[in-house]
Amino acid sequence: MNINRFLKLLYRHRFILVAVPLLALVLTYFLTLKLPNVYVSTADIATGIVDPTQQVLGSADGVQESKVNQQFSNLLGTIRLGKVIDQVSYSLIIHDLANPNPFRPKSKLLQQLNSHARAHALETFKKKYQQRAPLDLTDPDEAGLESVLAAQQYDAESLKKNLTVYRADNSDFVHLEFPSEQPQLSAFVLNSLCKEFIAYTSSSEQKNKGNANEFLQKLVKQKLDTMNAKVAALKNYKIQNHILDLK
């Protein structure tokens, strides 16, 4: 087929060539017209796990890389930990209950609550947030509050379903993403999550240091008691054998 015949063929089917992509464009527009807007918020956390000198010098061997990967795996698990996500859930529902401009419209369940019930829910959620305590689902009242969270899609499962967390390539950073229908909501979730994650890890480190200090104190006391017992035994031995004159 020469070029002239090819051009004639294109000219003959020019309407089809124009109509097909145009029709696809129109269909795409109408199919996506009713889709809700999605706003994705992103954040990066520097972990301090990766030694930059090892990255530059290439000195990290397989054992070191395996250790780093395990540390990142533990870190990602901590970010998704219930104790951390619960704090974000509480922050969201506290905002919507206390703020005249909530992130999301009140669910049917939330609308059914009278002013006294909403005040009780707000007080309980604030208390749980301050105590960093989970809701007790065996308690009917707190189980009902869990239903309120779920109705607003603020419960832990709903948040974790939309949350993306991973190590950025082989860097020292953990990358986080969260999509929602409101840009303020997306940003609030990630800001709260980063804050609660840092607070949890800091608290855990302090607790571990306290446990280590307590262990060392007990160990030192045990060694001192053992030494004093041996000194006393030696003193008694010398007295009994007239080796030492205590006068």
Q: Which residues contact 172 (CB under 8 A, 6 or more apart)?
A: 46, 47, 48, 49, 50, 52
In the predicted model, is pLDDT for residue 18 greater than 80? no
Which of the two residues, 17 and 62, has the higher pLDDT score?
Answer: 17
CA-to-CA distance for 1 and 45, rounded, in angstroms? Answer: 60
Lowest mean pLDDT among 1-10, 90-99, 137-146: 1-10
Average pLDDT, the chain: 82
pLDDT recorded at residue 209: 61
CA-to-CA distance for 72 and 10, rounded, in angstroms? Answer: 57
pLDDT tens column, 19-63:
777 777 766 655 655 556 889 999 999 888 886 555 444 545 655
pLDDT recorded at residue 56: 45
CA-to-CA distance for 168 and 40, rounded, in angstroms? Answer: 17
Percent of the chain topping pLDDT 70: 72
**End-to-end alpha carbon distance in the chain:** 126
> Which bin fits 169, alpha (ψ -120 to 50), beta or left (φ > 0)?
left
Q: Mean pLDDT throughout 181-202?
A: 94
CA-to-CA distance for 70 and 74, rounded, in angstroms? Answer: 6
Which of the two residues, 228 and 69, has the higher pLDDT score?
Answer: 69
pLDDT tens column, 4-16:
776 677 667 777 7
Which of the two residues, 226 and 193, has the higher pLDDT score?
Answer: 193
pLDDT recorded at residue 199: 93
pLDDT tens column, 143-170:
999 999 999 999 999 999 999 999 988 8
Which of the two residues, 28 and 64, has the higher pLDDT score?
Answer: 64
